[in-house]
Amino acid sequence: MVGKGTLIVILGFSLIFALASKYWDRESTDAAENFVQYYDQTVAHTIAVSGANLGANQVYLDTTSSTVSFSFSGSLSGGTYSVNCISLGQYADSLVSIGKYQDTTSTVVVRFGPQYFSIFGIYTATMNNVAWATGDTVWGRFHSNGTFNVMGDPVFYGRVTSLNAYHEYTPGDTAIIYGSYQSGINIPMPNTSISNMLSAAAGGFLLSNPNSGKAYDVYLTFNSNGTATYYTNLNSTPVTEPITSIAPNGVIFVQNGNLHVHGTVSGQVDVGASGSSSANYGSVFIDGNLECNSDPQSNPNSTDVIGVVAQNNVTVMGDNDFMNYYHNGSLAADPPINPTIEAAIYAQNGSFSAYYQGTPNYGVGTSYLLSTLGSVNVYGSISNYQIGVTSDPNIRYGYNAHYRFDPRFNNIAPPYFPLTGKYQILSWYE
């Protein structure tokens, strides 16, 4: 009986181990197949990503076209890739990269869009002999399309690029950069920026000088209820209308004249002026606070956006009566105190600056001391041909400069704001 029971036990265990062995063999086979499948998927995906990077590089290298279309293919790591880029309109493209390894495929889709100058915290076409110095702090991206001049240890909270080399005024001068730095990057100011704005103003509000031989100044005040009040030196009767009525596409532009602007904007606008500097045209004077109705500093989801574009200079100075001194002989009004500007600023041939001293009575008496006027507070973006000043060399008269980048401009821009002529990646889907 014991022998028969022992035999049954042995047979039982033999059956169990036989079945278990078959299961273990299947698990081992499945594990090997899963590993091979995972390996094939990983290699195919890596090939697709490599193809997408090759395609993206080709898009960035094309600096002459507003649309880019191409296709190419190749072999990599034992597999193949095919890349196809199609145009979706001006400065908008979709790139699809397909990687294949063995019988496995992987796809990467990249969307490109236009790069606006508003992506820079500060942009300057040239620094001349100006240098960032100890105590200076730049928020957002900084680009110099010349030399990157440094004196001491200024701080940069963003990516820094320049066309020419990094220049230390004295040995040991070192910028503190919390992003990255790269030289050899060429981003010139296109000479079509102003003409593009003029073309866009055809669908907005274009105010043209009726007589180019005479001064032409437009005075514009934005009201928080979505309206704008304007008049000119040739017609002093103020007119108030909804922004959407006078400028359906948000562009308000002065041709062969100057614009004086302040107020609170509800909506999305881009204002500016064109004209020859020799005729004292083509500048924008910000004569008070220029703010968004929904403050982006406290509400990052604010949809109110302001752009300021000038063929020559953008200047913070006295109120709308200032130019009357030149045209009518009257004295200028006092400059604004602690002005706040929430806008993307672009000065094609000049600079963004604050008028602090000179004709007729700026810099005279205590009214124009820096301790009285306070700071020019910019929350947005500044692009100019050269860096402007906000105080006299002795830092006695004028303003402190307090500039902060509006991170919304990483993804949006004012209507028809000037383009760099390059692309940026809007989305990358794997």
pLDDT in tens, 246-261: 999 999 999 999 999 9
Length of the chain: 430
What is the tens place of the pLDDT at every residue in 296-344?
999 999 999 999 999 999 999 764 444 444 444 444 456 788 899 999 9
Place of tokens 């306070």: 374
Judgement on whether residues 134 and 51 belong to the same structural domain of the protein: no
Judgement on whether residues 184 and 326 belong to the same structural domain of the protein: yes
Look up the pTM and report it. 0.82
**Residue 15 located in a structural domain:** no
Place of tokens 């440094």: 150
Q: How far apart are CA 306 and CA 290, in angstroms?
A: 8
- Lowest-confidence region among 133-142, 175-184, 293-302, 367-376: 367-376
**What number is the average pLDDT over the span 354-363?**
51
| Count of the separate structural domains present in the chain | 2
Which residues, 6+ apart, have CB-to-CB distance to 426 below 8 Å?
111, 112, 113
**Residue 109 located in a structural domain:** no
What is the tens place of the pLDDT at every residue in 281-297?
999 999 889 999 999 99
Q: pLDDT band for position 134 (50/70/90)?
A: confident
For the cut 90, the answer to whether the pLDDT of residue 81 exceeds it is: yes
Judgement on whether residues 385 and 319 belong to the same structural domain of the protein: yes
Closest CA to 407 of 426, 383, 379: 379
Alpha helices by DSSP H, 126-235 = 193-201
Q: How far apart are CA 384 and CA 380, in angstroms?
A: 13
HSE-CB for 90 with a 13 A CA cutoff: 6
**Residue 71 located in a structural domain:** yes
Judgement on whether residues 233 and 341 belong to the same structural domain of the protein: yes
What is the tens place of the pLDDT at every residue in 49-80?
999 999 998 887 776 666 678 999 999 999 99
**For all residues of the chain together, what is the average pLDDT?**
85
In the chain, how long is the greatest CA-to-CA distance?
A: 130
Calculate the alpha carbon distances from 1 to 5, 11, 15, 103 in Å: 6, 15, 21, 60
For the cut 50, the answer to whether the pLDDT of residue 361 exceeds it is: no
Strand partners, 270: 251, 307
Strand partners, 110: 95, 428
Phi then psi for residue 107, to 5 deg, are -125, 135
Q: What is the pLDDT of residue 322?
A: 42
Judgement on whether residues 71 and 155 belong to the same structural domain of the protein: no
Report residue 345 CA to chain centroid gap: 10
**Residue 429 located in a structural domain:** no
Question: Which of 71, 102, 133 marks a domain boundary?
Answer: 102
Judgement on whether residues 77 and 155 belong to the same structural domain of the protein: no
Judgement on whether residues 325 and 293 belong to the same structural domain of the protein: yes
Q: Which domain holds residue 64?
A: 28-102
Q: What is the pLDDT of residue 329?
A: 44
**What number is the average pLDDT over the span 25-35?**
64
Q: Which two tokens stand for residue 355?
A: 């008028």
Judgement on whether residues 379 and 333 belong to the same structural domain of the protein: yes
Q: What is the pLDDT of residue 24?
A: 55
SS3 267: coil
**Residue 7 located in a structural domain:** no
**Residue 45 located in a structural domain:** yes
What is the tens place of the pLDDT at every residue in 191-240?
899 999 999 999 999 999 988 677 899 999 999 999 999 999 888 789 99
Neighbours of 393 (CB within 10 A): 7
Of all helices (H) and strands (E), which one includes residue 111? strand 104-116
Judgement on whether residues 98 and 124 belong to the same structural domain of the protein: no
